[in-house]
Amino acid sequence: MDYHTTPEFDPLNNLTSADNVYGFGVILLEIVTNKPVFDDNRPKNERNLVEWVKTAISGDQSKLEQIIDPMSALWVKESAMGVLALSSKCIEEDPNHRPSMSKILKELAPIVEEHSIRVKEFLEKERQEEIQVQMDAVICEILLRNGSEFSTASSAIKSFAILSQRQSNLREFTFSELKAATKNFRLERSGKTLSVRKWQAAFTPEGYLDISKTLSRIHRGGVHPSIRGEVWEFLLGCYDPQSTFEEREQIRQRRRMQYARWKEECGQMFPVVGSGRFITAPVITEDGQPIQDPLVLLETNPDKGQALPPDDNGGAIVGGNGLETVKDKKAIQWMLTLHQIGLDVVRTDRTLVFYEKQENLSKLWDILAVYAWIDTDVGYCQGMSDLCSPMIILLEDEADAFWCFERLMRRLRGNFRCTDSSVGVEAQLSNLAAITQVIDPKLHQHLETLGGGDYLFAFRMLMVLFRREFSFGDSLYLWEMMWALEYDPDLFLLYEEPESASEKAEGSKGKAKSRRQCGKYERENMKNGAKNSEAPLPISIFLVASVLKDKSTKLLQEARGLDDVVKILNDITGNLDARKACTGAMKLHKKYLKKAKKT
């Protein structure tokens, strides 16, 4: 059955203009919701998109807003609602009540125009911050080149990372982008994307997953948005593909209980955790003294009541106006980060409709606060909110989102680990420099001449996995392609039972790991005889190298200083192709391994 055709359509007769209007209205619905017109996997009353929208229009306005695609950075809310209202006219049951195409275009034009104006105003405000980003990059380099104390340089690096993340990924919405959006959604990866049907078919009746076919499908076309969350749980090592449905459910329930215990522990120390609220002002000094600031009191006690009850275990005593002295050093360190998490939360993906709801902002804050408490080595650092945000959008249960984020941090926590003399990501920057020197020595020499031989301009790309260089949707597509390429079948065991993983590694020395179960990038490392004692370089480094290689000519011809380098790289924001970048990274990886063998 074709759900794009009208109820009155007679296949024996030619299509009428009213039929065409109806079909156009359905396409508009698919664009604004990013949902197929019919999906058996949705709840019964939501399977037919047209009927779902009609029901929402005749009911609560808030239900209509929930239908809009929450993950698209393409939409400004008012524009999306305008397109949704117009599409509802097109799908009127009575063909005589449907507008003509000329009327549709007249109504659509001001919606697009108003949206463009709003976007331009927003981008104008952002322009000054972009200039500040470039200036801070230069200051950071000057500090290092002039032999400043390295702790000062590390602070400059952190400042650069903070300011860099302010850039918006909001794009102008024009008629040409309507066509592009439709192409990406329906046609570009048609037959290649890991669809719901193919995902379900990859499981045996017991629940064992054929991971090799799944990885191949993801590499060719990514994952359908409706199943992205559950697929990511496998890619990040939350679950073993060789486990049953029952075994995974037991693990899921155990983890949910563990998260609930941690969250309760945090809530006992600072009851704003789990309250549906969050803070953006400091609540405590470095020596554990409370900060009696009006904003703090308002955020922690919005009802002017005692929001913070006494805690006998954490060393914190709470009075009617806020915290009193906190003695436990771990608790002090944790509380010092809570307002910084809040400041980052309100800036994270702020163009998405999803974050217009207070409950979603507080959920993001809660997850990051709990993680900062359990990971005493890293705690919380700027950029983690960008990594965590997609998890809570894709996974409805907060605990599931937390564990997905926790597994991602297993890969990336080294980037955030800072000491008095270094920042964790510097190791990757050094590797990037070494790779560029091998594959593009001319560019590397030019960057060194400009004083950028330490590659600090690539700091942001590695820290937040290209969240600022790609649009929101493309960054998710890029992530899943990276994880599929790097997939290691021992990942779950390594994270869940590290001792068992070590024993397995010892017992399998001399035996080749099943290449069929590995991602393409991992297979390439195995093929080239990567030593067990040396961890392979992450594909993210080769992705950055691929971007630099692609912009090599421009950098060589136009960059006369570090500020030019930063500007050229900033100009690519939102204009990169995820699949092309991954393909380029794989080619550079092979080239690097061949050249490295010869040297």
- State the DSSP string of 424-440: TTHHHHHHHHHHHHHH-
pLDDT at position 178, please?
Answer: 41
DSSP 8-state assignment for residue 323:
E
Q: Which residues pair with 323 in a beta bridge?
A: 318
**Residue 180 resides in a domain:** no
158 within some domain:
no
Same domain assignment for residues 366 and 503? no
Kindly state whether residues 406 and 429 are assigned to the same domain: no
Residue 573 and residue 538 share a domain: yes
Last residue of a domain, one of 350, 382, 416: 416
pLDDT of residue 534: 60
- The tokens describing 289, both together, are 């003294």
Domain boundary among 358, 389, 416: 416
Asked whether residue 251 falls in the same domain as residue 213, the answer is no
Would residue 41 count as lying in a domain?
Answer: yes
Query: What is the domain count for the chain?
Result: 4
> Which CATH number covers residue 109?
1.10.510.10
Residues 492 and 389 in one domain: no
pLDDT for the residue 363: 96
**Residue at 222 is within a domain:** yes
CATH code of the domain in which 492 resides = 1.10.472
The set of residues, in sequence order, having a beta carbon less than 8 Å from that of 448 and lying 6+ positions away, is: none
Q: Tell me whether residue 593 is in a domain.
A: yes
Do 240 and 501 form a contact (C-beta atoms < 8 A)? no
pLDDT score, position 115: 66
Is there a single domain that holds both residue 296 and residue 438? no
pLDDT at 327: 87
Mean pLDDT for each 10-residue chunk of the chain (599 residues)? 68 76 86 80 80 76 65 60 84 88 85 69 54 45 40 40 39 42 39 83 93 90 90 96 95 96 94 91 88 65 43 37 75 93 92 88 97 93 94 94 96 78 77 92 93 89 87 88 92 75 48 72 78 70 92 92 89 78 90 76
Question: Do 517 and 594 share a domain, yes or no?
Answer: yes
Q: What is the structure's pLDDT at 325? A: 81
Burial grade of 543 (CB within 10 A; 0-12, 13-18, 19 or more)? buried
Task: Print the domain residue range for 281.
Answer: 245-416
- pLDDT at res. 62: 64
Give a yes or no: residue 367 inside a domain.
Answer: yes
Dig out the tokens for 474 from the structure: 């493309």
One domain, residues 203 and 323: no
- Domain presence at residue 159: no
249 and 230, same structural domain? no
Which pLDDT score is estimated for 326? 85
Cα separation, 351 vs 166, in Å, equals 12
Domain co-membership, 277 together with 405: yes
pLDDT at position 182: 40
Q: Tell whether 105 and 222 lie within a shared domain.
A: no
- pLDDT for the residue numbered 445: 94
Q: Which two tokens stand for residue 89?
A: 């006219």
Q: Which of 594, 590, 575, 562 is nearest to 139 (CA)?
A: 562
Give the pLDDT of residue 367.
98
Pick the last residue of a domain from 362, 390, 416.
416
The whole-model pTM stands at 0.67
Chain mean position to CA 30: 23
Q: Is residue 388 part of a domain?
A: yes
The verdict on 326 and 464 lying in the same domain is no
* Domain CATH code at residue 251: 1.10.8.270
Identify the CA nearest to 463 among candidates 166, 235, 167, 161: 161
